[in-house]
Each structure stands twice: as C-alpha cells, then as structure tokens.
C-alpha cells in the first residue's frame, strides 16, 4: 500500500512539474483515434500539450500487437515489445529508447509522455517511431489516423528547382508549406491563416512532415529542421557549408542529401549522418529510391577523371550503417532504364528498356529474379497512385506566358485555370494547386521581382486565395494577366464563350484545343 501511495504521489508531483493542469484535457469524443480505419475506444481520451496530441499508450500499443509492462524497478518507466522490437519510455522524459535485435537507438520525442487520470499518454510520434507506423492528423475532423502500413515512398519536392530562386512549396496533407522569392522565411497555410517563421535563410526544397519542415538554405546550404509548433530550428547537416547541395529527399526518418558527388543519409531523430554513396564518375547521374528500409542508388556510370569507364550500377545501402551491396552492374546500356520501389516494401523493380528485361531485387537479401513486363507495370501503377497528389484524370502545370493549366491525360485537352504571366507551379494535392506569379522571378538569378504573390486555388480553378505578396494594400496591376486585382489576388479567368470553359467541344473559340483563353 505504501508503494502504491508513493507511486501516485510521484505521478501527482510530476503532473504539477509538467504543468498538466495548465491545459484542459480533451473532452470525450473531441479527438478521435483510428487504427487502420477502426476507431479506438479509450477510458481516458487523448489530450493536447504544447500543440501536440497525446494518446493513451496501452490501448494503441496493444492494438498494434505489442505487449506493455511497467519496469518493476522504476514505476515511471514503460516497456513495449513486439517481435524483435523493444521500446522503452519514461514519464516526464522526452527520450525514447528503441532496440531492434542488437541495434539500439535513442529518439527524442516532441513532448514527454505524461500521466493523466492513472493512464499514460504519449505523443503520436512515439507510436510512429516505435513500430514504424504512419501517423497523420486530420485537423478538420479532429482525428488521428494510424496506419500499420509503413511508407515506402521517397518524398521529394517535384516542382522545386534549385537553379531558380523564386521559392518553392509542398503540401503535408491539407497544410501548405512554402517560401517566397528571396525572403528568409518559411510560411505555413492551414486553410484559413498564414503563419511565418524565421528560416535562417531562404528555404530550398521544403519537405514537411508532422508539423516540421526540412530544407536547406540558399545562403549557407545548411540543412535545417524547423518545428512549426514552437518556431525552433536546428541544423541537421552541413553547418559549415562544405557540401554544395543539389537536392533533398525524405524517406521514413531519413533525409537523403545529394551533392555533386555524394549522397548522405541523415537520421532526423538521432542526427546521425552516414555517407551512403559516392558517384563513380563526374559525368554520371545518380537516381535514388528506397524500399524495405534500404536505399537503392542507380549510378549511370561514365568516365572517371583518369579516363576509366565506370559501369552502370545499382547499389543497395543500409542508411543507418552505410553498408552497401552491388545488386546489378552493366558496362553499357543501349536504351533507357527505370527502377521502381515495391509499395509492399519488399524490394526494387528494374526494367532495361532496350531489352525488355524486368528484374526484382529483394531488399532483405539483395537476391534478384526475373519478372514479367506486366508485373513491372503494375508496380509502376502502384507507385504512382501511392502519392496523395496523384490525379488519374489530369496533369497540372504552369506556363510563364499564359498561366496555370490542367491537361486531360486521355484527350490531351488543356484548360487554363488562371490567366497571368510569370506563373510557376509550387505544389498540388488532391484538392488544391499552389503557385507563384512573378514575371521577373522566373528568370534565374533575377534580383528584381516586381509584383509577386503566392496563390492557392481548387484544382478546377475556383476559390482563388492570395497567401502572401510583396505589395501594399493597393495591390498590383496585373502584368499580362486579366487586369487590376485590387489587392485581392482574385483574378477572374477568361472563359471561352463557345465551350463555356469546359474545353470539351470542338468550337470556333478554342478550335478543339481545350484552351479557355481563345484570344491567344
């Protein structure tokens, strides 16, 4: 009895030290949690702390098939075991230990686990880090979604071009993260308001995840992580600017950083940096993908500095250790080559387009086997539809002379959704398109941007919203667009009077081209 009272006293003291009584616990039903599409039922609802959602540990971990137990020697420490994975958390400590077999790592959580009403609550990130789950937050529904299917995609900023310094952006769910011309700011739009953060330099190749943004800066090329809940940022890599960065990618908890000659993997939790590949030759190209926890690097070969011809090679690398295995090599390739990760996380598909040969490489063993063309194409389809911005009907793009458009994949008909010069697409998701309009900013190296603004609109061109601009309340006069915006940014698109803007009719207005602006 004395031990029990002591334990409760410690929990109460810890709650007071953590300031748990400074915020209200979520009311029952206010925040819901779904595991693989099934709603979980708790006797202690999730709570909010420091702009983070904390969820009951035991119900979720046991729902994931793990066993949960308290440390008999420390009443504040909990262990969860599933297969070869053991996770240890301590109430009041933001350090979580994860051990898989003999591999042990320490992970820093956004907030520490807490005790509330005799239940242990942990930040949702602990769930994803513990057992490789995918966790997302649906703010409109006040809902946490947990999926046991790990993410096998390498996330990259498709529309970012490091050679053009007018900004870039990317969606994380329905939240849009972006930069604007040469400002040293990171902007976040949640559907209603725009927040801005000091980014330490102009953010390039922004990659958002779970309220954090990863990027490198134009000035110093340091790789940062910025937490938009707190505004805090830290350098993860290249603090001395010694590496000239070409691109950033994000795979699970690894930032993949490419330079002219090297590829580094940065563990965003442990901050460990591993050199995973060096180019065979200065003339070679390197393509990167991943699956099953392994990084696959396609090096196209070329001629080395001493005149030696380097072979095309596919290498499988462990991003934690840098241990690599060559899984395919060829002295020359007559045609193109494609490689696609398996969305089930088993390995890599490769196609030699000149021969029609298709291969599959197992991520666990590195062994390969021949597969049919139809199997390879099915893997390509699964990869494409895995992206949240995938649209089976339309491709979206921008034209610096005519504006924003979408083009039908089957018919080729093009619809212009926004009329104005100097447009450049930033990002798309399943419902919205975000873009910059700045005629001068689309000139690489331009130091004068003139009137510039970032807009977001629905994928059909409706509900145009100006997010940020470099003019005052008076607004600009559109350059080559539809006229004066009056500061609202809501330029009205010109619609074909014959086809009514649908672009589907063969008419004298659009001549079957599907262009909504027949005056061009």
- Reported as a single tens digit per residue, the pLDDT across 445-495 is 556 677 889 999 999 888 999 999 887 543 333 332 332 222 233 333 344
Predicted local confidence at residue 339, as pLDDT: 85
Amino acid 371: pLDDT: 95
CA–CA separation, 468 vs 123, rounded Å?
Answer: 32
Write out pLDDT tens, residues 134-144: 777 776 677 88
The arrangement of strands across the sheet holding 286-291 comes to 286-291, 294-299, 312-317, 324-330
Number of residues that this document lists for the chain = 520
Higher pLDDT, 472 or 514: 472
Q: What are the φ and ψ backbone dihedral angles of 426, each rounded to 5 degrees?
A: -100, -50
Are 176 and 192 within 8 A, CB to CB?
A: no
Distance from the first to the final alpha carbon of the chain: 85
Cβ-based neighbours of 73, under 8 Å, separated by 6 or more = none
Block residue for tokens 């003339």: 283
| pLDDT of 6 | 36
Residue 127 is predicted with a pLDDT of: 80
CB atoms within 10 A of CB 111: 19
Query: For residue 207, what are the contacts with CB-CB under 8 A and spacing of at least 6?
Result: 155, 156, 157, 170, 213, 214, 215, 248, 249, 250, 255
Whether the model clears a pTM of 0.75, i.e. scores above it, the answer is no
Angle CA 343–344–347, to nearest 5: 80
What per-residue confidence (pLDDT) applies to 23? 26
Q: Containing H/E element for 108?
A: strand 103-108
Residue, of 490 and 177, whose pLDDT is higher: 177
pLDDT higher than threshold 90 for residue 260: no
- Give the span between the Cα atoms of 485 and 493, in whole angstroms: 12
Give residue 382's pLDDT.
87
Measured distance CA(393)–CA(183) in Å, rounded = 36
With pLDDT > 70 as the criterion, what percentage of the chain qualifies? 79
Report yes or no: 60 and 35 within 8 Å, Cβ to Cβ.
yes
Ramachandran quadrant class, 13 (left: phi over 0; alpha: psi -120 to 50; beta: rest): alpha
Would you call 115 helix, strand, or coil by DSSP?
strand
Q: Which residue has the higher pLDDT, 467 or 156?
A: 467
- Adjacency order of strands within the sheet including 114-116: 47-49, 52-56, 119-123, 114-116
Contact 285, 300 (CB under 8 A): yes
Instruction: Say if residue 259's pLDDT is above 50.
Output: yes
pLDDT for residue 238 is more than 50: yes
What pLDDT, on the 0 to 100 scale, is given for residue 150?
66
**What is the pLDDT of the chain when averaged over all its residues?**
78
């Amino acid at each position: 009895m004395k031990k029990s009272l002591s334990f409760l006293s410690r929990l109460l003291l810890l709650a007071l030290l953590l300031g748990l009584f400074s915020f209200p616990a979520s009311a029952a039903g206010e925040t819901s949690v779904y595991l693989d599409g099934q709603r979980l039922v708790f006797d202690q609802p999730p709570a909010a702390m420091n702009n983070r959602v904390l969820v009951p540990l035991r119900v979720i971990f046991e729902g994931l098939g793990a066993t949960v137990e308290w440390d008999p020697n420390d009443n504040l420490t909990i262990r969860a075991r599933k297969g070869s994975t053991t996770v240890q958390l301590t109430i009041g400590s933001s350090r979580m230990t994860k051990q898989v077999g003999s591999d042990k790592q320490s992970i820093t959580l956004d907030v520490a686990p807490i005790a509330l009403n005799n239940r242990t609550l942990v930040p949702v990130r602990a769930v994803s880090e513990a057992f490789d789950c995918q966790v997302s937050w649906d703010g409109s529904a006040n809902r946490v979604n947990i999926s046991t299917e790990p993410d096998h995609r390498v996330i990259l900023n498709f529309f970012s071009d490091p050679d053009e310094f007018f900004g870039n952006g990317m969606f994380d769910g329905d939240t849009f993260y972006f930069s604007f011309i040469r400002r040293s700011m990171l902007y976040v739009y949640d559907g209603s308001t725009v927040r801005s953060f000091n980014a330490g330099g102009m953010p390039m190749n922004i990659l958002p995840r779970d309220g954090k943004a990863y990027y490198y800066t134009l000035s110093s090329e340091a790789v940062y992580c910025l937490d938009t809940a707190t505004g805090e940022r830290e350098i993860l890599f290249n603090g001395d600017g010694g590496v000239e960065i070409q691109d950033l990618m994000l795979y699970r908890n690894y930032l993949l950083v490419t330079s002219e000659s090297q590829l580094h993997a940065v563990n965003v939790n442990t901050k460990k940096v591993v050199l995973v590949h060096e180019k065979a030759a200065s003339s070679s190209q390197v393509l990167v993908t991943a699956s099953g926890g392994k990084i696959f690097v396609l090096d196209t070969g070329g001629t080395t500095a001493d005149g030696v011809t380097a072979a095309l090679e596919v290498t499988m690398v462990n991003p934690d250790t840098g241990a690599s295995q060559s899984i395919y090599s060829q002295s020359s390739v007559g045609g193109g080559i494609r490689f696609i990760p398996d969305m089930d996380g088993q390995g890599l598909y490769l196609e030699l387009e000149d021969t029609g040969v298709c291969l599959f490489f197992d991520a666990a063993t590195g062994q390969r086997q021949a597969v049919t063309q139809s199997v390879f194409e099915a893997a390509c389809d699964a990869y494409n539809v895995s992206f949240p911005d995938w649209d089976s009907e339309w491709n979206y793009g921008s034209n610096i002379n005519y504006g924003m458009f979408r083009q039908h994949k089957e018919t080729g008909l093009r619809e212009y959704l926004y009329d104005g010069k100097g447009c450049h697409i930033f990002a798309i998701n399943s419902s919205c398109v975000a873009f910059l309009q700045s005629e001068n900013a689309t000139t690489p190296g331009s130091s004068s941007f003139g009137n510039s603004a970032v807009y977001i609109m629905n994928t059909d061109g409706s509900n145009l919203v100006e997010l940020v601009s470099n003019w005052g309340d008076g607004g600009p006069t559109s350059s080559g667009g539809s006229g004066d915006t009056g500061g609202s940014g809501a330029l009205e698109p010109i619609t074909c009077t014959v086809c009514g803007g649908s672009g589907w009719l063969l008419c004298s207005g659009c001549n079957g081209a599907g262009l909504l602006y027949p005056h061009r």
